[in-house]
Amino acid sequence: MTNYEIAKSWIKESKYLVFFGGAGVSTQSGIPDFRSQNGLFNDKNAEDIVSNSFFYKHTKEFFEFYKTKMVYLDAKPNDAHKILAKWEKEKKLKSIITQNIDGLHKMAGSSNVIELHGSIHRNYCINCNKSYNLNQIMKNKEIPYCDDCGNIIKPDVVLYEEALDYTNIIRCINEIEKADTIIVAGTSLNVYPAVSFLTAYRGRRLIIVNSTKTNGDDYADLIIHDKIANFLNYVDK
C-alpha cells in the first residue's frame, strides 16, 4: 500500500479524528504562508512588526502592515476547508485545531474549531472591551478607535511576546489526548508551542501532510509531501 492508501484506511477506521493545521491550509485560498520562499516573514522586519510591543509603540505602522499583509478580505474556503467541514457534519472529524487567524474553517461551516492564534474577525477595545467585527476595523484608514471610550481597538490575534489563551491550550491538549488519529497539515511546526502539543498524543496514527520537512517529522507515523487539499480530495473519494 502507498502512504496515501494507508492514510485513507486509518482515517476511515478512526473513531476520534483530529485535524491540526497551519498556514499551508490556506495558501490555496490565496493567503501566503509565513516561512516559505515567498512567505510573509521573508521580510526581516515582519516578526518585529507583529509583536505586542510594536503594536503599542507604533500603532499606525502596525495597522498599515496588518491590514495589507495579514487580512485578505476576498479569501474564500478552499477544498481543504470544505472537506473538513463535510467530515465534521458526517461525524468523521471531531475537531480542528488551527494556527491560522483567517477564519476560513468557520466560514466553510466547521463549528468545533480551536483558533490557537485568534481570529481577524474578532476585535476588541483595549479599555472597555467592546467587540468589533473585521469590517469595522478595515473601514478606518489608520488606527481604529472605540466608539464608546475612544481607546484603540486591538485585533484578537496572538502577537509575538503574547501568550496563547490558556483555555485554548487546555482544549487543544484534551483533543490531542483523545485522538486515535491526527492529521497535521500545512505547518512547519516551527512556532512554539505547536510541536510540543504533539507530545500529548498517545496513539500510533499521526499523519503529517506538508510540502516540505517539518519539525514534527520525528513524531510522525506517516509522512506525505503534498498540498493538503490534494491529499484530502484523494481521501474523500
CA atoms of 213 and 221, how far apart (whole Å) = 14
Instruction: Point out the catalytic residue in the list 58, 117, 121, 225.
Output: 117
**Which residues, other chains included, contact 69 with Cβ-Cβ below 8 Å and sequence gap of 6+?**
40, 46
Largest CA distance in the chain: 62
CA atoms of 94 and 176, how far apart (whole Å) = 11
Q: Are the beta carbons of 210 and 188 closer than 8 angstroms? A: yes
CA atoms of 151 and 174, how far apart (whole Å) = 37
Instruction: Extract the C-alpha cell encoding 102.
Output: 483567517
Active site residue 117: yes
Look-up of cell digits 504533539 = 198
CA atoms of 9 and 222, how far apart (whole Å) = 12
Instruction: Extract the C-alpha cell encoding 144.
Output: 481604529
Helix (H, G, I), strand (E, B) or coil at 79: helix
As annotated, the active-site residues are 117
